[in-house]
Structure 1
Amino acid sequence: MQGDQSREAAEERASSADVQGDESKDASDTAPNISDADALNILLEMKMKRRQKKPSLPSTVTELATEEGSKVYVVGTAHFSDSSKRDVVKTIQEVQPDVVVVELCQYRVSMLKMDERTLLKEAKEINLEKLQQAIKQNGLMSGLMQMLLLKVSAHITEQLGMAPGGEFREAFKEAGKVPFCKFHLGDRPIPVTFKRAIAALSFWQKVKLAWGLCFLSDPISKDDVEKCKQKDLLEQMMAEMIGEFPDLHRTIVSERDIYLTYMLKQAAKRTELPRISEAEPRRCVPSVVVGVVGMGHVPGIEKNWNTHLNIQEIMR
């Protein structure tokens, strides 16, 4: 009886570590007799075994490297695309990263835990209460800008019946399956972006932009989204509306390119391997990072990769 209970407990532990096939059987047989150090080593070995030396990656992935030897795989995505979600899943499974970085900030992190149905409902229900809350949190002009951008997103959501951020939710789920993988938010806080965007516009420019956002109604098909894999659909629509405002493009796109690059490079610092105790010496190795960003940010990240970055100027 006691032996059966031990085996059941071991099998549960092996299952929670996402061990498959024969690996699951071996782990369940040995788990009751191994030390914490051995368990950590098993997980590390499992991770390294799954990490492909020459990963087969989607064409939307750009590979970058740091001076310390860390590798960064940037997945360029369309925010309303099923194939982008598949690209993210495949990349994380192939490279088994130490860190996953996504183009989200703490103000938008809730979309990681909402299901598609809830997000679709939230995106379509833009009301006075939400407007008042946005203004209260971000000020009058920034709050209005936030709601207008939500309207653009809601328009795409309504046209496609697909909630935004699916690639980020897939990244979050897949990162949880990789042993010792950290999950980082890599985008500049949205209130900072809105504040700087509003400050870059004259009064009449604000009126003209708001007018264009308010009367957005062009139909969009799923084929249109997939055609935009070389340039994210949402960012392309915004670029068309803000094209005549260079300062606005700088604050919404170029500055965020710099911020995303900085966060990816920070994530790519050498990884400290797990230790059983404080007495154990530290072991640091080059990191493997997966970044998940809109396709429109990839050229800017490549451009800024080998430059010295100071983000203090773009955080005021």
Structure 2
Amino acid sequence: MLGLNRLNSADRLAALFVAAAATYLIRTVRSRNTCTRKRLPPELVTMTTYAHGGVCDVVSNTYKRKTLPAELSMNVPILTCESAANGGVCDVYLVGTTHFCPESCRRVRDVIRFLKPQVVFMELCPKRIGLLTPDKNNGKITEFQVAYEEAMEYGAKIILGDRPYEITCKRIRVMAFLWDIIRCFLGTFPTDEDALKTMGEKNDQMDKMFPTLMETLLHERDRYMSTNLLEVASKHNSVVIVVGEAHLQGIQKNWKQHVDMKELLHVPRFGGFVGEVLLSFIFHCLYY
């Protein structure tokens, strides 16, 4: 609280407003997602996050490698690894997206429809499964829902491979970047579509401005998803991963690198509730 005591009256009032708004929004988000937290719909029961022990069966059909046409391959990096599946190799196609952007939705649809990968891997965890339902997004269509619908169309496996939401919330070092978050919501954090389109190109700048925020919300999740993705890929021949553009660089950087998953899943003793409130506020601004 020492940092807040040094603020002038206007900034202190703004900070208190953010805290009050965040408390209201977390209650709203919780009420919206109550049904999905209790029980997943039948068609989504097979979804899992690999860090908690789930393992998919190897797909039995013969893998035939496809080459994306030029209009689809632009800005779609490809990773490879050895695989226990037929053919002994897996191709992983990274599709970076901007949330609620029609162009991103079209690209996700076209890439999945062309490749028909065995697995569609998404930057979601089960507690954010509401993003696959238009009603949970005020009728807006997300690139995640497009990916889900395309995968379900031909029977692909769907993996929600992001770190569990509640763990990310509880790992927030609240006092270390409370002022960073206040500054973000006072006008320096990009929330409109044009700004979000360039976030992937501004990671270095954001790291300098909000180092603790970026470590928890971006870099740790990059390492987590890259490790989960490699585990999935090692048992299949083809995977399409749908993530926000800001995650592309980190997932590629951590591909096949040693990552301490226990450390990334460790829950600190303090700061859980406040962290959940603040992170829910951030997600609400980005996705709702």
Unpaired segments of 5 or more residues in structure 2? 1-58, 84-88, 267-288
Quick one: which of 241, 247, 255 aligns to 2:212? Answer: 247
Look up the match of 1:53: 66
Report runs of 4+ in structure 1 exceeding 4 Å deviation: 217-222
Look up the match of 1:107: 127
Distance 2:147 2:108 in 1: 6
Quick one: which of 170, 186, 189 aligns to 1:215? Answer: 186
Percent of residue pairs bearing the same amino acid type: 32
Look up the match of 2:221: 256
Change (3 A) 1:182 1:103: same
Partner amino acid, structure 1, of 2:82: E
Look up the match of 2:281: none
* Deviation of the 1:80 alpha carbon: 3.0
Distance 2:192 2:235 in 1: 43
* Deviation of the 1:210 alpha carbon: 4.2
1:130-157 residue CA offsets vs partner (Å, 9 max, x unmatched): xxxxxxxxxxxxxxxxxxxxxxxxxxxx
Distance 2:146 2:124 in 1: 13
Look up the match of 1:198: 173
* Deviation of the 1:219 alpha carbon: 9.4
CA contact (8 A) 1:74 1:290 kept: yes
CA contact (8 A) 1:73 1:289 kept: yes
Partner amino acid, structure 1, of 2:164: P
Look up the match of 2:245: 295
CA contact (8 A) 1:257 1:297 kept: yes
Look up the match of 1:265: 230
Q: Which has the larger radius of gyration?
A: 1
CA contact (8 A) 1:101 1:264 kept: yes
TM-score by length of 2: 0.61
* Deviation of the 1:310 alpha carbon: 2.6
Unpaired segments of 5 or more residues in structure 1? 1-39, 122-162, 272-286
1:80-119 residue CA offsets vs partner (Å, 9 max, x unmatched): 311111111111111111110100111110121233xx52
Look up the match of 2:161: 186
Look up the match of 2:111: 91
Quick one: which of 182, 187, 199 aligns to 1:231? Answer: 199
Quick one: which of 120, 129, 137 aligns to 1:119? Answer: 137
TM-score by length of 1: 0.56
* Deviation of the 1:288 alpha carbon: 0.4
Look up the match of 2:282: none
Partner amino acid, structure 2, of 1:54: T
